[in-house]
Chain A
Amino acid sequence: MTGADLLQRIWLKLDENTLFYPEAEVIVNGINPAMRLIALLKPDLLTQRVAYSVLAEQSIINIRELAPRHFILRRVLVGTITGDAPTKTAYGELESLRYVSMDSINAQDDWFGQRGPLQSYTLHGRFLLILYKRPEADRTITLVFRAIPTAFSVATMGESPAFAAVWHPLIVDVATALLLIKEGATQVEKARSVLTEAFGKELFGPLGQIVGRQQRTSPVHVRTRQEQAVEASNTP
């Protein structure tokens, strides 16, 4: 299915209500977040690899610039494994780097000044990759990461989602559910059951339970509640 096919399927599910759900809205609040939600909750669906040339002395890499659609970094490897055959570095290296915590690295006072073969990596925040030790010569590394698919825009609806075709109907279901939420309580319940079915687990409980925990507090609702209470107390 292309993006345009997904759009048509979603509109059919929304009773062809293209006025209340214009194309731009279906894309940005339906198809795109649905694909991201599926990728997040089924992270095995989309794994990507990217090779990067680390220059001598470079120890800090911004993954956001290198792989803007990553969300979990799975593996960092010295060498290149993006093609059919792995390629060793010019120094004959092809090995995974060990992940260590920032605390472990900080336990060595002079870790930043140490130069030598790459041994391990850590993350500072969600998108700064720090290599240990600092390489003395240029190296190629490969990052393997869970990714979210490329988002659609009005201009790219002729393309297909990055997931296998078998998952495309799921995108339609999830996108429809996410779009329906704005319509209020009844449609939220419908969306909840669709999402529960789609992911095999409840993303959120029945609305009645949640509302029960958090009573409405707008002046209109408070006033209505007070009037109902007065009426009830006046009823013989």
Chain B
Amino acid sequence: MTVTIKDQLDRIQYLLQENTTTDTTRRSIINTQHQDEGTRLSRRQLWGEVVWLQGLAGTAHYALPTSTIGVRCVLYNETILHCASEEMLDSLTPGWEDVQDEPQFWTMDNQSPNVIRLIPPPLLDGSAIPVSPGLPMMQDPVNNLLVFLYEDRAVYAIDESNDFPLPDVWEDVLVYETAAELASRESETQNFPLALALRELGRAYLQALGVTR
């Protein structure tokens, strides 16, 4: 059974005793809160992804997906690049901006959000032609980049028709956290006992899943 975002919102409205409400604005508010809770969960760096980027000769800057939460490691030409701060590079290789060689480091210091800089930039263009049989991925890793990153999967949960973008066991956590937030809001329908119980339940789920606050 595939769970959709609609199913999640229905569950939340049952908990808030709003299941007979047809107010689309309210539904939209609940959906927004559900996305926010999804992003909050994602910021714990739980959802790994591997992104392929084409290496380009002389290009030092590479943009990662906007859903990137953090970068775990970067591989160029199937080899690990070391993460470095600008201070480290200054002390290690004075004039590092001008070095001509194969990439050895990557940094996010002084870059735009979700942009990494390779030091030095690649000397060769990587191939963008998909490889057969497409393993470990469809694109060739030779002279290209593989970025192991953590992503915000809430970006896949925007529309009610979207499938729930996480493993099934996380459904309840998001329902409880979202309903708890909505039930605790300052309004005439505030239901503090419900909010507190749901928060504690959400915490129990997270503890069982090995996620600590």
Contact of B196 among A69, A112, A210 (CB under 8 A): A210
> Contact at B168–A126, with CB atoms within 8 Å?
no
Q: A102 to B73, alpha carbons, bound, how many Å?
A: 9
Interface membership of A163, Cβ < 8 A: no
Quick one: closest A residue to B151, CB to CB?
A125
Within 8 Å of chain B (Cβ to Cβ): is A148?
yes
**CB 8 Å contact bits of B36-68 with A (1 = contact, 0 = none):** 000000000111111000000000000000000
Q: Are B209 and A123 in contact (CB under 8 A)?
A: no
On chain B, the residues within 8 Å of A33 by CB distance are 171-172, 175
One of A29, A36, A112, A217 near B141 (C-beta < 8 A): A112
Q: Is A94 an interface position by the 8 A CB rule?
A: no
Q: Please give the distance in Å from B55's CB to the nearest CB on chain A.
A: 15
Chain A hits for B133, CB < 8 A: 55, 57
Set of chain B residues within 8 Å of A210, measured between Cβ atoms: 196, 200
Q: Which residue of A lies closest to B104 (CB)?
A: A109
Verify A71–B75 contact, CB threshold 8 A.
no
The one of B17, B72, B194 that contacts A188, using a Cβ cutoff of 8 Å: B194
Kindly identify which residue among B19, B137, B187 contacts A218, using a CB–CB cutoff of 8 Å: B187
Count of chain B residues near A, Cβ 8 A: 56
Q: Which of B50, B168, B175 contacts A151 (CB 8 A)?
A: B168
Interface of B is mostly: mixed
Classify chain A's interface size. 35 or more
Whether A77 is near chain B, meaning CB under 8 Å from some CB there, is no
Q: Is the CB of B205 within 8 A of A40?
A: yes
Map CB proximity to B onto A198-236 as digits: 1 under 8 Å, 0 otherwise: 000001110100110010111111000000000000000
Q: Which residue of chain B is the closest to A215 with respect to CB atoms?
A: B192
Residue A68 CB within 8 A of the other chain: yes
Which residues between 107 and 157 of chain A lie within 8 Å of chain B, taking CB atoms? Answer: 108-113, 123-128, 134, 148, 150-151, 153, 156
Give the nearest-CB partner of A25 in chain B.
B14
A104 adjacent to chain B (CB < 8 Å): no
Residues of the B chain whose Cβ atoms lie less than 8 Å from the Cβ of A108:
80
Residues of B within 8 A of A (CB): 1, 3, 7, 10-11, 14-17, 19, 45-50, 72-73, 75, 78-80, 133, 135-137, 141, 146, 148, 150, 167-169, 171-172, 175, 185-188, 190-194, 196-198, 200-201, 203-205, 208-210
